[in-house]
Amino acid sequence: MSKPKRPTEPAEVRIFKALNSTTWKYRTVEGIAKETHIPTKDVEKALQTHPEKVRVSLVRRRDGKVLFASREKVSAIQDAWTAIRVISKAK
């Protein structure tokens, strides 16, 4: 088994700092791109390249955009509870 890649490029470092920001629990690719001034395709690639650092949320935004969170900040159980709360509010 190979070691997970570490974000070493300055762009990746900025992306993961934005993902770990205390201001937001969940982020969209577009939000990270806007904050870091990095193209959305590069943000998407970085998030896909480091699945060990990124949690894809079980819920989406109202407009359907995918939400991402740092695995350091949001556990699978926390994300599941968030999904349950969102579903409960929708009823």
Q: How do residues 40-78 score in pLDDT, each as one tens digit? A: 999 999 999 999 999 999 999 989 999 999 999 999 999
**CA separation for the pair 42, 12 (Å, rounded):** 9
Q: Looking at the DSSP assignment, which residues form a beta bridge with residue 70?
A: 54
The token pair at 53 is 């650092």
> Is residue 28 classed as helix, strand or coil in its secondary structure?
coil
CA distance linking residue 50 with residue 12, whole number of Å: 10
Which pTM does this prediction carry?
Answer: 0.82
